């Protein structure tokens, strides 16, 4: 599989160097793998820190900036960052108001962020953790006890980030993040597998006429391997899984919806998927208050998409609309 | 090649329906294939209209909105829209101040936009045309007499769009668009070919160890088929082609740079490419005043990227920074 890279070993550093060159508003510490805002966090504000394996860009470093993350710590491809990175990030951005760790529910990430929280506590940094586990496809998975964290991570980072920006306290910001996660459900389908830089073949085999239904963002197996079929049928199945699990998303609910590309799916196809999602939610009496369509939580060069539906309290929509200025999500400023 | 679609025939309509559902600020006329701003164009403002074959999303419909295009007319995949679409778009958005057609230099587009301009003139609509032909790779090509129009289209639409928004007259807006095009050079490389919805194989054959150097956005052949090699070498060759042609981009120049993904290339790879572009321009004494890294002018699911370098007058940067609110380019509002 051809990729723009020099060596597999230098890939992440080379990519982070480019990120830093492109965005003066970010400070990219390539050696320690920590990305922060160049101008820091305003006095007295809670700081959101996230991180995880690389390969899901723009998540997380692309969401560092005013109104969203204070810092991100990227691990190697599909590999958790280490506690030292997380600790360095927390120490770099804590204003004294405390730090919220946004952690996708994968065993390695959870363990390392737990350790980092302990170390930060020893250094007098108050830490709250928001665990994201929105993927309804499977209960346990290759790298997960419990549900996987996927598309809702973006929603948690945006909405809790806006709460931090307006000056909410540590407990409040963390609580908002947890409520966003609790209100969110996701489901993904892969048309092709992704290939890790340096590997000579994709992470799994997927025949030309089959799809992986319920796939994870590292290519973890989903619920079933099925025959390819028309998009409307695929989307109907994805939405059925989400709605079956999302018991309190009833008629009259508002929702924030993310139709997310996994990396190699054209935007035209994502809009086609969104159209069907919108029709199905309308049939259920659900109003889509806000939406986002594009590549936000990817799996390298996987073709496929995920759908995330968050039952939106009015306060979520208000915080969603707050100004944000990051490399990959920006409005209002 | 698996895609999210129902039938090849319904693909474009289904995708446009989703675009309209996702963006209430757009009015999507699916039957006539015209996308306009829901709230129209402010009185007395010049209106920019663009269009071309579909398959390059977000170009052009994703750039309809305040501060950029007034309308887009998407053709079938890789096929020019017809004059009637362009005329309908012009008639829908003209405030009396005139319409600027932004036309990528492909034989079909040029012919059809010319015809539409004549028809619009007959209807009393004043039209100026800005032809985009920034691709230095080849002089003539499969679908082109002269150079192909590629990444610079985005720059023309943003910068001339901002001029229209602030109230510049028809001749001035068109002149700014032409100057942006004249100041821009692009070059693209494909790692894989794209597959058209409904086709059962990619548009051309590209072995696993070869790349198409100087490829067009429809997969047109470039300068040469070459062996895959490290990214830094590929980027050095792309930049050499651009700089050899860009004689007045010397030490002390400012530039606006676009590193553009062709559809299936991860953002992490695009940043890696950007880092090398920035280093090469720094070596040449060129300052990158503004940049954009991401998927903007795509070729369906092609893996590859293009580099566009625009020698930036101060006025270009000022107009670049002006607020813009479209589905796929947004800041300041």
Task: State whether residue B228 sits within 8 Å of chain A by CB.
Answer: yes
Of the residues A218, A246, A284, A318, which is catalytic? A218
Residues B218 and B123 in one domain: no
* pLDDT band at residue B58 under the 50/70/90 scheme: very high
Q: How many domains does chain A have?
A: 2
Q: Are residues A202 and A260 in the same domain?
A: yes
Domain boundary among A134, A168, A183: A183
| Longest pairwise C-alpha distance within chain A | 55
Long-range contacts of A19-22 (CB under 8 A, 24+ apart): A19/A61, A19/A62, A19/A327, A19/B271, A19/B275, A20/B275, A21/B274, A21/B275, A21/B278, A21/B279, A22/A327, A22/B271, A22/B274, A22/B275, A22/B278, A22/B291, A22/B293
Q: Is the previous residue joined to B174 through a cis bond, with omega within 30 degrees of 0?
A: no
**Residue B73 to residue B52: CA distance in whole angstroms:** 7
Q: What is the CATH number of the domain that holds A152?
A: 3.40.50.10440
Q: Compute the average pLDDT of residues A260-272.
A: 98
Same-domain status, B21 and B153: yes
Distances (CA, A) of A262 to A191, A201, A209: 10, 18, 19
Inside any domain, residue A65? yes
Of A16, A191, A298, the CB nearest to B266: A298
Do A47 and A39 contact (CB within 8 A), yes or no? no
Q: Please tell me whether residues A47 and A129 are part of one structural domain.
A: yes
Q: Are residues A280 and A270 in the same domain?
A: yes
Q: Do B301 and A265 touch (CB under 8 A)?
A: yes
**Residue B176 resides in a domain:** no
Q: Which of A166, A183, A200 is the last residue of a domain?
A: A183
pLDDT digits (tens, 9 = 90+) for A162-182: 999 999 999 999 999 999 999
- With bands split at pLDDT 50, 70 and 90, how would you rate the model's confidence at B309? very high
CB A13 within 8 A of CB A75: no
In a domain, A327, yes or no: no
Residue B201 lies in a domain: yes
Residues of chain A with Cβ-Cβ distance to B298 below 8 Å are 266-267
Do B41 and B139 fall within a single domain? yes
Pick from B4, B230, B332: which is nearest to A269 by CB?
B4
**pLDDT of B261:** 98
Of the candidates B14, B328, B333, which has its C-beta nearest A272's C-beta?
A: B14
* Encoded tokens for B199: 């086709």
The conformational region for residue B263 under phi > 0 = left, psi -120 to 50 = alpha, else beta, is left
Q: What is the average pLDDT value for chain A, to the nearest integer?
A: 97
Residue of B14, B62, B266 lying closest to A275 (CB–CB): B14
Residues B148 and B201 in one domain: no
Q: Mean pLDDT across the stretch A201-230?
A: 94
Catalytic residue list contains B60 = no
Please answer yes or no on whether A231 and B6 come within 8 Å at the CB atom.
Answer: yes
What lies within 8 Å, CB to CB, of A258 at 6+ separation is A151, A154, A155, A291, A292, A293, A296, A306, A307, A308, A310
A280-312 per-position pLDDT tens digit: 999 999 999 999 999 999 999 999 999 999 999
Size of interface A-B (CB pairs under 8 A): 193
In this prediction, the answer to ipTM > 0.85 reads yes
Q: Write down the pLDDT at residue B46.
A: 98
Q: Name the band, by pLDDT with cuts 50, 70 and 90, for residue B141.
A: confident
Per-residue pLDDT at B210: 97
Residue A331 lies in a domain: no
> Is A254 found in the same domain as A303?
yes
Q: What is the pLDDT of residue B20?
A: 98
Range 299-318 of B in CB contact (< 8 A) with A? 300-301, 303, 305
Q: How far is A60 from chain B (nearest CA, A)?
A: 12
**pLDDT tens-place string over residues A105-150:** 999 999 999 999 999 999 999 999 999 999 999 888 778 889 999 9
Question: What percent of chain A shows pLDDT beyond 70?
Answer: 100
Co-location of A97 and A236 in the same domain: no
- Among A158, A183, A208, where does a domain finish? A183
A29 and A70 both lie in a single domain: yes
How far, in Å, CA of A11 to CA of A34, rounded?
16
Burial label, A62 (beta-carbon count in 10 A; 0-12, 13-18, 19+): buried
Does position B143 have pLDDT exceeding 90, yes or no?
Answer: no
- Which of these, B230, B227, B236, lies nearest to B278 by C-alpha position? B236
| Mean pLDDT value of segment B79-100 | 98
Same domain membership, residue A175 and residue A200: no
Concerning whether A284 is annotated as a catalytic residue, the answer is no
Best of A196, A231, A271 to mutate (most B CBs within 10 Å, chain B):
A271
CA dist list (Å): B8 to A88, A230, B245, B261: 51, 10, 40, 24
Rounded Cα–Cα distance for residues A13 and A81 (Å)? 14
- Read off the DSSP letter of residue B209: T
pLDDT digit string, tens, across residues A27-65: 999 999 999 999 999 999 999 999 999 999 999 999 999
Output the domain CATH number for residue B207.
3.30.1180.20
B14: closest chain A residue by CA:
A272
Residue-range definition of the domain harbouring residue A238: 184-321
Q: Which chain B residue's Cα is nearest to A196?
A: B266
A64 touches chain B (CB under 8 A): no
Q: Tell me, yes or no, whether B53 and B80 share the same domain.
A: yes
CB B288 within 8 A of CB B281: yes
Residue B328 forms part of a structural domain: no
Distance from CA of B129 to the nearest CA of A (A): 27
Chain B interface includes A331 (CB < 8 A): yes
A333: in domain: no
B215 falls within a domain: yes
For B259-304, the pLDDT digits (tens) are 999 999 999 999 999 999 999 999 999 999 999 999 999 999 999 9
Residue A200 has a pLDDT of 85
Give the per-residue pLDDT at B2: 95
B305: closest CA of chain A, how far (Å): 9
């Amino acid at each position: 599989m051809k990729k723009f890279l020099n060596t597999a070993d230098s890939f992440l550093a080379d990519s982070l160097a480019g990120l830093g060159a492109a965005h003066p508003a970010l400070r990219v510490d390539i050696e320690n793998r920590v990305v922060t805002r160049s101008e820091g966090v305003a006095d007295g504000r809670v700081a959101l820190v996230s991180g995880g394996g690389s390969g899901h860009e723009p998540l997380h470093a692309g969401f560092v900036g005013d109104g969203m993350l204070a810092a991100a710590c990227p691990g190697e491809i599909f590999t958790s960052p280490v506690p030292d990175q997380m600790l360095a990030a927390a120490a770099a951005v804590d204003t004294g108001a405390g730090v919220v760790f946004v952690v996708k529910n994968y065993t390695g990430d959870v363990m390392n962020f737990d350790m980092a929280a302990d170390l930060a506590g020893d250094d007098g940094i108050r830490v709250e953790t928001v665990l994201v586990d929105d993927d309804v496809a499977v209960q346990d998975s290759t790298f997960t006890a419990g549900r996987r964290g996927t598309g809702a991570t973006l929603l948690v980072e945006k909405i809790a980030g806006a709460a931090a920006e307006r000056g909410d306290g540590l407990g409040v910001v963390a609580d908002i993040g947890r409520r966003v996660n609790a209100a969110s459900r996701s489901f993904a389908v892969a048309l092709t597998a992704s290939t890790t830089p340096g590997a000579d073949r994709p992470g799994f085999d997927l025949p030309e006429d089959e799809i992986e239904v319920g796939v994870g963002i590292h290519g973890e197996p989903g619920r079933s391997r099925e025959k390819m079929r028309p998009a409307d049928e695929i989307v109907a199945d994805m939405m059925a899984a989400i709605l079956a699990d999302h018991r309190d998303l009833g008629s009259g609910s508002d929702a924030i919806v993310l139709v997310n590309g996994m990396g190699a799916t054209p935007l035209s196809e994502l809009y086609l998927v969104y159209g069907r999602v919108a029709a199905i939610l309308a049939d259920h009496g659900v109003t889509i208050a806000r939406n986002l369509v594009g590549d936000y939580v990817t799996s390298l060069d996987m073709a496929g998409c995920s759908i995330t539906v968050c039952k939106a309290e009015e306060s979520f929509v208000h915080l969603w609309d707050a100004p944000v200025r990051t490399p990959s999500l920006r409005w209002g400023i």
